Amino acid sequence: AEATSKKDMAILRLAAVALVVCTAGTASAFHAPTNVISSLSASKGGLDFASSGLTGTPIARRSLSPSLRQSVRQAPAVSPLMMAATAFDVKSYFKEKLPIVENALDDSLKVLKKDWEYDSKAETCHEAMRYSLMAGGKRIRPILCLAACEMLGGSVEQALPSAVASEMIHTMSLIHDDLPCMDDDDLRRGKPTNHKVFGDDMAVLSGDALLSYAFEYIARYTKNVPPEKTLDVIARCGKCVGALGLVGGQVIDIQSEGKKDVSLETLQWIHEHKTAALLEFAVVSGGICAGATDEEVERLSIFAMNIGLAFQIIDDILDVTQDSATLGKTAGKDLLVDKATYPKLMGLEESRKRADDLIAEAKEQVKPWGDKAAALNGLADFITQRSN
C-alpha cells in the first residue's frame, strides 16, 4: 500500500509539472517582442500579451436562432490543459499579417497619387492622408478582416480591399476625434495629431477624403467576389460609419460628457456604435468576401460586437492605468472631460470582468469552426491583454 501511495504521489507530481510547463508555454506564446509592431508599423510601446482568465456568463444582447443556440450548447468543453497545448501564436500571426496590411495601405496611397498625376493642387490633402494612415498602430481591424475571410476558406486577396477600407475609416475617425471641436488632443500614436501638423481645416478634409476613398477602394479593387457580395460589403460599410454606427455613437458620447446620470445601458449603446460597429464591419466583411451564409454572418456579427465592446472597455481601463508614453496618446483624457466610462460606472475590477465575459461569449460564436477559428480567438485574447 505504501509503495502504491508513493507511486500515486509521483504521478501527481509529474502531472503538476506538466501543467506548469504547459501553462508557461501558453504565457510565452502570448508575449510578443516590441519589435513586432515597432519595426513594421512604428507603434509605441509594442504588444503586451499578459495572460488573463476568460470566465463569466455570456453578455451578448443579440438573439440566436434555435438551431444556432443548440449548436452552442452542444459545443464540447475544452480543458485548460488542451488550451495550453494548442495556444495560438499571436506573435507569429502579427508578424505574418502586418507587412501585408502595411504594404496594402501604402499601395492604396500610391494608386491615389497616380490618379492625381496631372493635378497637384490637392497635394497637401494627400500628404495629410498619408501622415495619419501610415502612422502605425495595431491594425487590428484589417487583420481581423483577413482572419475571418481565411477562417471561412477565402483568401487574403479577396478580403484585402475591405481590410484596407476598415483602416481608412478608423484613421478618419481618429483624425476627427482629435480635433479641437471634438476631443481636442495633441498626441496620437506617439506623434502630433493631424490638425497640429496640417491645421484644423486640412484635418477635416483629409479625414473626409479617407472616408470616401474607403468606399471607392472596396468597389474598385475587390476581386473574385460575386458582385452582390461586394455590394453587401459596401452597404454595411456605409451603415457602420453613419448615424446608426460610428457617428451615432460619437454623438451620444459627446452629449453624455459631464452628465452624472449616464446609465450602463447608455454607455453600452455608445460603445457598441462608436467602436464595435466598425469592428463588426471588419469581421463580417471578411466573412462575406469568403461566401459566408446568413447564419455564419450572424455568428461573426455577434463575435465582433462582443470583442468590439471589450476593446472599448479595455481602452477605458488603459486610459486610467497607463501613461501617455505607453498609450501613444494623452492619458487620463476621459477623466479630464468627465466622460462616461466603464471604470467610472463599474470600477476597474468589474470592468475587467465584463471585458473577459464578452471575450468568452465571442469565442462561443466561432466554436463551430474548430481549429480554423484559432486566429480570431487569438486576436480576441489580444484585445483584452494589450497594454496600449
Q: pLDDT tens, 90-128?
A: 999 999 999 999 999 999 998 877 766 666 678 899 999
Is the pLDDT at 373 greater than 80, yes or no?
yes
pLDDT confidence of residue 122: 80
8-state DSSP, 188 = E
Amino acid 340: pLDDT? 82
Query: 328-367: b or e for each residue (b if 16 or more CB lie within 10 Å)?
Result: bbbbebbeeeebbbbbbebeeeebbbbbbbbbbbbbbbbb
Put simply, whether the predicted model's pTM sits higher than 0.95 gets the answer no
- Whether the Cβ atoms of residue 199 and residue 191 lie closer than 8 Å to each other: no
Give Cα 108 to chain centroid, integer Å: 21
User: Residue 164 and residue 183: Cα distance in Å, rounded?
Assistant: 25
Q: Are strands 187-188 and 191-192 parallel, antiparallel or unpaired?
A: antiparallel
Which residue bears the cell 488603459? 318
pLDDT at residue 328 in the model: 64
C-alpha cell at 227: 458582385
Instruction: Answer whether 296's CB lies under 8 Å from 368's CB.
Output: no
Cell of 124: 497637401
Higher pLDDT, 75 or 286: 286
The b/e string for 257-272 (b: 16+ C-beta within 10 A; e otherwise) is eeeeebeeebbbebbb
Three-state DSSP class for 32?
coil
Q: What is the CATH number of domain 89-385?
A: 1.10.600.10
